[in-house]
Structure 1
């Protein structure tokens, strides 16, 4: 059965459309069941994230593509003509290549981002739970997970940070031999600081302090990460305890000045302090650069790191594309092998049926008192005629059409050496 992909993503549709076609997690099994039981698809997996909604389906024939698009529109109450403006489709090998690129992070908004593989695996698990996966998608997704794993392990696609938050944490990892022994002071409680906090936590930072103008907001973030929450007014007391300071607020004036850092480094006995200012306008006075043992980086410094890393990821992506090409070829060979296996099974079943029919005739003849030699001759003759009937017909048709290639193939299949004297 053909494989198809129908989708909408960040490249083809604005967020207003992506929001409309997104599937709520609690409704996913219901949606899958609707898609499969309506006979639009034989098997289905739906990947729905903030940047994409994609339907991976095994269908009876390619005419079902339009029906799958229509189902997507009907399910979300979107006019078909409007939806078609933003939809893309892939079939057969293109569909296989697409899902492998998606799972490997090559089709993501941020090249090489690792979260998408987990999201694809989650979508696969939900479809399994809903009993909407059969042999076609099972084989495809197992191969996809294997390829995505190779891309992660055999290329540098995910090694270089390309987000401000990740770049800030990576910078800290370069400066401190063991970041797990460090104390991090985060100033602000917005989305960027939240991402920084999560990256630090994932990397095992010993202690995290969150400072914010509103204590309640700092406490909300701190409670999620088992961190400490303080007011901005307490910065002077806590700054000397911090090895890493990362700041991102909406303040119009600097929060940390040169004098505050000088006092902090003195109390730290000149142990190095990393300060990363990712706010615009800046949270940390530029003069802090002049303080001994204080290493100040701004958002511009991080952007230059990110640009280098994007280039590095693009180089890794080329290697990843080669692995995906191998994956598509391997999957195609699996399909061809399965077709041959099915053909062999059917051929053997046909031969078994002929055998059983002729054997039953022979047993009845023996029971009726016919001589065993006569019965055996009839059995052998009957088996031979039935087994050579189809090949003989094929040979006659090929001969009448002077199809030498077909005759040569048939001779090879039947084990006949045409050059041998009879």
Structure 2
């Protein structure tokens, strides 16, 4: 069991009190600062996963902490019978960053799954007796609630909970002709991730989003972009789709928006904003004053510190460095959302070896590793990982053989 308060003690208590949907945790983390965290046994780690693209400003950022604390001490929660200045100003800020036209609106949620659930309902509202189909892609991950799960493509997630909400079809990933063949006047919406994070950081091919925009506009379908993982500066622009000059009908956000505080959003553009009306959707906690304050503080720091530029520049540096490491056969991504494939099926072992070496990373498959560090990561921190990675992979290969 270990001494009281040790990692082993906490993990034993976890196993007897928490529902086992996540499996056994790798460590018990107790504090963090910037891009590093510390576990219950006093070990420190460079966090190159950022809570899976959540901690855009790292851990315990002093400005975000002070703003959230001040707001909580002033007004913590109100029901949706009321609003607050932080909710309104954050909505205005997101619309401005998105370059959304007049008439666009924001609905706040607590998570990416909830944002996609709201988007699913938006798509249904664009339906009719003949417009009943919703299209998504193979490899898609949009969440685990029932509507979001219907959009998600992974059979292991879907099969235990079928039948799921109907009408969803999954198209081959990145095949523009398959998309054009599928989109017609029976389609209510097309859901796309500009980069599929859970599938191993797979960017859509250049031009695919523009073809999707043209096809959906022609046939009256909504183009809904899931930017839960790619949004809020992760790829070096505020939203990944902006790099291609595409304007969607709706966009979902979460993860990095609150700098670690739970908040998500559905952004609707122009006419799509009239599809959901009073009483057709809601939330108790979404966009409460503290969540709004966290979002505003996070966006302010990202703007003032040049973090988006850092994400772009450091991302290129990391991908170039990874490509030169023996055992790495392909790198992908944009900004500080990076996937890289190994020459064998030892990625899970590499995650364990990296943790032992003081680095938090993630495997999305037997051969693929993912990085999504805070956008404040420094070049020396990135280089420390690149220098350690050859040894980490050697250790992992030995452990997996």
Q: TM-score, normalised to structure 1's length?
A: 0.28
Choose between structure 1 and 2: higher strand proportion.
2
Greater length-normalized contact order (CA 8 Å, ≥ 6 residues apart): 2
Choose between structure 1 and 2: higher helix proportion.
1
Q: TM-score, normalised to structure 2's length?
A: 0.29
Say which one has the larger Rg.
Answer: 1
